[in-house]
């Protein structure tokens, strides 16, 4: 039986990994410019800033599938011209695969407690982006591009408005779980009245952190 090593050439692995790295740069660029800088102009920006106004809102799977298809349509012909059909398919597969991984990781940041040092970092960094500084820490899966382009903040202790606190952060009495007490403080009320919903939407579309 052929081993996996001989079945998959190193050049294929490298091309798939290059596609994955290209996705992380795309993730940074789209999040910073197409979503935040545009302040609600265009579907991607509107959907994303709606997620900032209400952190339980995630774009439906149909819109995500659409963006995966759009990415393929944009990347595949260019990559084919540069590197030929086979490399282009490998590169695009690495990019789309990493994009899907990012979608899962982003949702889990909001819905599930961390299980590793990386998971802890990813949550602190992304929740700092949400609640502290929406124009910082645009990379969700890595901080490499933020560091390169000067938009990285060390999250420090993240202050979370109680009405937006992820369920995994709080115990049954509404206090920050002991495990996370060094990383987060929760402030304000849990109430989301109509006035608050409006204010959160206004702040999100202005790239301002939500009031606590
Ligand atoms: Zn988010
Ligand atoms: Zn954002």
- Better-scored residue on pLDDT, 63 or 18: 18
How is residue 169 written in tokens? 């952060």
Using the mean position of ligand 1's atoms as its centre, give its distance from the Cα of residue 146 in Å: 16
Using the mean position of ligand 1's atoms as its centre, give its distance from the Cα of residue 95 in Å: 20
Using the mean position of ligand 1's atoms as its centre, give its distance from the Cα of residue 55 in Å: 6
Q: What pLDDT, in 10s, does the model give residues 1-60?
A: 556 666 899 999 999 999 999 999 999 999 999 999 999 999 999 999 999 999 999 999
Closest ligand, as measured to the CA of 36: 2
Burial class (CB in 10 A: 0-12, 13-18, 19+), 165: buried
Using the mean position of ligand 1's atoms as its centre, give its distance from the Cα of residue 77 in Å: 31
How is residue 106 written in tokens? 């982003």
pTM: 0.93
Using the mean position of ligand 1's atoms as its centre, give its distance from the Cα of residue 107 in Å: 7
Q: List beta partners, residue 160.
A: 186
Using the mean position of ligand 2's atoms as its centre, give its distance from the Cα of residue 91 in Å: 26
Rounded distance between C-alpha atoms, residue 155 and residue 159, angstroms? 10
Q: What pLDDT, in 10s, does the model give residues 69-79?
A: 888 899 999 99
């Amino acid at each position: 039986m052929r081993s996996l090593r001989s079945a998959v050439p190193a050049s294929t692995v490298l091309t798939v990994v290059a596609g994955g790295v290209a996705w992380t740069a795309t993730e940074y660029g789209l999040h910073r410019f197409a979503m935040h800088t545009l302040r609600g102009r265009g579907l991607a920006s509107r959907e994303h800033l709606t997620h900032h106004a209400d952190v339980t809102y995630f774009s439906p799977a149909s819109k995500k599938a659409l963006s995966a298809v759009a990415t393929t349509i944009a990347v595949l012909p260019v990559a084919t011209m540069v590197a030929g059909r086979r490399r282009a398919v490998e590169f695009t597969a690495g990019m789309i695969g990493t994009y899907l991984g990012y979608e899962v990781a982003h949702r889990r940041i909001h819905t599930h407690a961390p299980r590793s040092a990386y998971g802890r970092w990813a949550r602190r960094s992304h929740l700092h982006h949400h609640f502290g500084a929406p124009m910082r820490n645009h990379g969700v899966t890595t901080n490499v591009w933020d560091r390169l382009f000067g938009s990285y903040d060390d999250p420090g202790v993240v202050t979370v408005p109680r009405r937006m606190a992820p369920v995994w952060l709080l115990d049954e009495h509404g206090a920050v779980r002991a495990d996370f007490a060094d990383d987060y403080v929760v402030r304000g009320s849990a109430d989301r009245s109509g006035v608050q919903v409006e204010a959160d939407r206004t702040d999100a579309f202005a790239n301002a952190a939500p009031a606590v």
